[in-house]
Structure 1
Amino acid sequence: MSIVDRAENQFNINFDPVFTKAQVFKAEGEYNTTWGENRRITMMVLTQSGQNLVDNLTSMLAEDETADAYFSMIEQIGEYEQHLKNSIELTLAATARLLLVAQHVADNEAEPTELA
């Protein structure tokens, strides 16, 4: 069950923070160091035509170079893909929290509520 499913099924607005502000600022400050290369590789591959990619790999293999760099790019793109999937989970969890709170406020609009 995903974070969003748990949040939607609980309808509980008494949730704790997932991160501290310091953790968020640290992660944001390190983002390019951590994910910049993988993101750039992903984007650069998308600037190449199919024929260019074929020519590059064929050239590497013809020059007796190993294709390690080529397969390393595939691995790095896969890591970046997983990172983006995890980021989607975070956005869904944040949206669920906002919707739960909005629903709580709408349900209790006539009387101010205080969280226990």
Structure 2
Amino acid sequence: MDRHRYGEQIEALKKYAAIPEIPSDPYDIAAGAAQRAMSVYDLALSPDEQRAYQYAMDNSDEKGPCCCQCWRWRVYGGLAKFLIREHRFTGEQLVDVWNLSSGCGGGAEHHHG
């Protein structure tokens, strides 16, 4: 884990504090929250909702909810569907959540603009 990037993630995720389903720490996801999010993963989306999801798939740093199709992929994929359905998240908003929630290690790809 890159400590600098981790600190930035924790700080930036605070903007989503009003939505308790979004983990505030991408490296510490409660089992119950993960199970709830994974239970939504197979939810069928409407065409408009699917466009938002696909936008996030195409434009997130990892080209999906995680860098590999592991348990985190299902957690953050399910979370995205929940956010689209219940909070009307756009594809751009999903990209932000996914990028801020990366929990697969380092900051080698992380640069300040």
Q: What's the TM-score once normalised by structure 2's chain length?
A: 0.31
- Say which structure, 1 or 2, has more relative contact order (CA 8 Å, 6+ apart): 1
